[in-house]
Structure 1
Amino acid sequence: MTRFATRFRVGAPAAVLRTAVLALGAQSALALAYLATTEAGVASPRTMAVPVVWVTAAVVGVCHAERPESAADVRAVAAVVGVAYGVGLAWVTGAVAPPAGAAGGLDVLLLPPWWGPLVRYDGASVSVFLFPYRAVGYAALAYLVSLAVRDVAASGRSAAVGGLVALGSCAGCALPLVAGVASVLGGAGVGVGAAVAGETYLFATVAYVLSVAVLTARPTIE
């Protein structure tokens, strides 16, 4: 009977933990600076934890993901795929959308750290509604997807297992995030409490961490 071994690309636990601690420290310093220089306030610990988890996961994933050796043309294709994935995810979640109506221009809202400064832009051809932590999260996923593409090119189809699972799991981020954006744009106000009502953002956060973990480890069936 044939046996299959699954290989995971994960760094040393101590190194991963050290990166996470440094990421938390940096976020704390940035949050204090933001609060000291703006009129933004704070939110409940649960609400504040959402962006902290996203950013920490993003930093750990980007720092510890294995970077396959690839030719220039493969890297170029992988970069295009990663950018397309990031833009597509932003579109699906409502962060980037068709214009809402009359062009309202640029608006910046000073929400609690990592929820703000929230950038809202409504132009003639596109609308943007982006929390800082989500911009970091999407960028990290786009980069990790590009690494997965390079992995597939180097190792064959078995390496795609991690990418497929991660893409599927992060698709679960879409509905909760769209619900949160819709509640704000629909007149529920810009308060973070309305944006994260219920369990939707908890679900999205779990889906995001799972996506980053799988794209970072990129399990390969051998």
Structure 2
Amino acid sequence: MNRLVTRLSVDSPTRYVGTAVLALGVQSGLALAYLAVTDAGLASPRTLAIPFVWITVAAVGVRHADRPESGRAVLALAGVVGAGYALVLGWLTGAVGLSSGAVTGFDVVLLPPWWGPMVRYDGPLVSLFLFPYRVVGYATLAYLVSVAVRDVAEYGPSAGVGGLIAIGSCAGCALPVVAAVGSALGGAGFGLGTASAAAGGTYLLATVAYVLSVAVLTVRPTIRRT
């Protein structure tokens, strides 16, 4: 008799905790060094916590995600899909966009740790507003989506269930963040007020959706018929 079986790729909880503690330690050391050698200031605890959550979750996801064996063709396809997903998220959140048409240039803004150094670039074709923690987060999602694509190639379409759930949740969370990014980047000075504004409800919503997305993409539930 055929029945449906759900498979989860889950490590021991102690291994997840160990990776998280190590990631937090490294981030804290780098943040202290950043504050020591720059004029960047601090912000509210909630504002400071958001990047640490993103980067820590990214480290846990990348370290503990199962990696199926794949041929070169599958790896290439998975890489293209993952990169495309990251670009879509970047576009939706305003991190990547068309040039504003103003004077082109490149500069670095010293926001609080992991909000900064924020890179701004406005070129002839594209504009970039890159917060370090979001670069890490989107790169992580791109990688995990590419691994989910490899799952589909290895186990069949049913393996995409977890990936579809995660992609839907994180893509959905990006929409309200567009307004927050636009508001923050439109403020004067790009100083501490920018990071404070970013700690509003939309950024907290985005953080929750991001954590859920990485969690689902890391354990990647697959449904098989046996």
Q: Which residue of 1 aligns with 2:21?
A: 21
Q: In structure 2, give the amino acid aligned to 1:215.
A: L
Aligned-pair distance for 1:200? 1.0
Q: Which residue of 2 aligns with 1:196?
A: 199
Name which of structure 1's ranges 172-181 and 140-149 shifts more when overlaid on structure 2: 172-181
Aligned-pair distance for 1:187? 3.1
Name which of structure 1's ranges 143-152 and 78-87 shifts more when overlaid on structure 2: 78-87
Alignment of 1:1-222 (within 5 A): 3-187=3-187, 190=190, 191=193, 192-197=195-200, 199-222=201-224
Number of residue pairs aligned between Structure 1 and Structure 2 = 221
Q: Structure 1 length as normaliser, TM-score?
A: 0.96
CA distance, structure 1, for counterparts of residue 132 and residue 177 of structure 2: 14
Aligned-pair distance for 1:149? 0.3
Aligned-pair distance for 1:2? 6.0
Any gaps of 5 or more consecutive residues in structure 2? none
Q: Deviations over 1:103-123 (max 9, x none)?
A: 330121100000000111111
The answer on whether the counterparts of 2:47 and 2:198 sit within 8 Å (CA) in structure 1 is: no
CA distance, structure 1, for counterparts of residue 121 and residue 167 of structure 2: 28
Q: Deviations over 1:37-77 (max 9, x none)?
A: 10001111100110010000111000000000011111111
Aligned-pair distance for 1:87? 1.2
The answer on whether the counterparts of 1:188 and 1:194 sit within 8 Å (CA) in structure 2 is: no
CA distance, structure 2, for counterparts of residue 220 and residue 69 of structure 1: 16
Name which of structure 1's ranges 203-212 and 72-81 shifts more when overlaid on structure 2: 72-81
CA distance, structure 1, for counterparts of residue 43 and residue 176 of structure 2: 20
Q: In structure 2, give the amino acid aligned to 1:196.
A: A
Give 3-state SS (helix, strand or coil) of 2:4's partner. Answer: coil
Q: In structure 2, give the amino acid aligned to 1:200.
A: T
Aligned-pair distance for 1:188? 5.7
CA distance, structure 1, for counterparts of residue 103 and residue 168 of structure 2: 35
Q: In structure 2, give the amino acid aligned to 1:193.
A: S
Q: In structure 1, give the amino acid aligned to 2:38.
A: T
CA distance, structure 1, for counterparts of residue 56 and residue 151 of structure 2: 24
Between the aligned residues of both structures, percent identity stands at 67
CA distance, structure 1, for counterparts of residue 187 and residue 69 of structure 2: 49
CA distance, structure 1, for counterparts of residue 86 and residue 103 of structure 2: 25
Q: In structure 1, give the amino acid aligned to 2:50.
A: V
CA distance, structure 2, for counterparts of residue 184 and residue 17 of structure 1: 33
Q: In structure 1, give the amino acid aligned to 2:15.
A: A
CA distance, structure 2, for counterparts of residue 103 and residue 188 of structure 1: 17
Q: In structure 2, give the amino acid aligned to 1:216.
A: T
Aligned-pair distance for 1:126? 0.4
CA distance, structure 2, for counterparts of residue 189 and residue 210 of structure 1: 33
